[in-house]
Structure 1
Amino acid sequence: MAILIIFGIYIFRALSGVLGSLIVALASVFLIFTESKSSIMLLPFALAVSVVFVRLRNTAAKLIVLICVPAIIGVLTIGSIQFAAVNALVNELMPDPTFTGRVEIWQFSLDHIAQHPIVGFGFQAFWGTSELVNSWTWRGSWGYRAPDAHNGYLNIAVMTGLVGLVLTLGWVLVRPFIDHVRTPPGRADPALNLMFIQTWLFGLYLSGFEAVLFTNGSVRVVWFMMVVSIFGLRLQARAK
């Protein structure tokens, strides 16, 4: 539904205000009734930040805006289980920053990343394996039966190690940023460019709570549209 809202905004700006407004209104109602806390909270951030990001002309300022929200999400979530001071601050702000008690699975992921930090356990060769499932007991961590790390960055790190994480960030974060700043003003269609940016940023933000990157799970639509947006930003930068 979040992606449909972004699409509705594009329709509103590029084709039809009435149709776009209808799509946004109906998709918003559906999103609210899904009770998807992460999408409901993060989508407004992505929409607001995208407008600021597009309008900025200074590259350094754009970079700061780009990394600010994912960094804050990382500190308030993963940081809260690693540092007591952050945990105390988060508990003052909200009772459950993970939204659905993801602390245990994140700690489980971090523990296993430490076992194979360089190259990980192998892409799609960790979650749901017989070794994990057979090791689970009712008193053990539910991480043994989890389908993923419920965090896109941790998920990549546990499967492909720090090497895979760096390469992934280079493709989903650094490369699209470079393509965006290298696109001359006026070359890209404003409405289409904003839709690419909104989808891309939303995917980066949602990866702090869901295993979006390279997924075939429940958020695969977000991943697919994120890839489309990355390709779109690349094509805009290369267009003559």
Structure 2
Amino acid sequence: MTRSEIGTYTCGIAKDGVTANASVMVSVIEGNSPMGAVTFDANRPITNGKMVLVLHDSALIDCHSQRNDVTFTWQFNGSSTLPQNVKVMGVALHIEFMEGTKEGIYTCIVSKNGLATSASVTVSVKEEKARVTQVTASPTHPGANHPLDVVCHLKGYPQPIIIWSFRDPMGQTYMPPGSSNLTPDRVHLDRFQPSLHSGTWTCMARNSLGVDQMSINI
């Protein structure tokens, strides 16, 4: 790639008298570009080109150029397609809701008259040991033959794996009949039967950093 190849490349297709086309602008990114340096301002710390966010946090990264009248574009891992809930707001990149699918390299490209320069920041999720914060039942005191949901509230990254268990008043551990997992963090009973479902429900959460568990008596 040299400066002589700078320009707009267009692909056109035609069939039965109908045509369509799409274009892409190709620029040169130079290490010592006359475009000057690209810098970032952000509402979260950036250290050595890296930003670490808490799971479900948000971030705003402003891109700045030493030149005026330039065009700003953002890429994610080399692609112009950004993850869901990551938006460009003027010259800034807004990560609305941080999760694993948004981990990667975000690059701000500044271009003008076929020349370009760029800077990148690597964004990742802070690792956290699996932790069960609460186990709840809805309703709190279920009546016979009424539906019941037992929910495990947890934190941690990578996303913890959940294992449910039940211990009856006789000390036997098993998953009672009539229970189902609507989601990994929720056990559902269509009809609560005191003789089958009264006991201790335990949620155990595990990820690569550790294990935690908590129980509720129903």
TM-score interval, normalised by the smaller of the two chains? under 0.3
The TM-score normalised by the length of structure 2 is 0.24
Bigger fraction of residues in strand: 2
Structure number with bigger Rg: 2
The TM-score normalised by the length of structure 1 is 0.22
Structure with larger RCO (C-alpha < 8 A, sep 6+): 1
Bigger fraction of residues in helix: 1
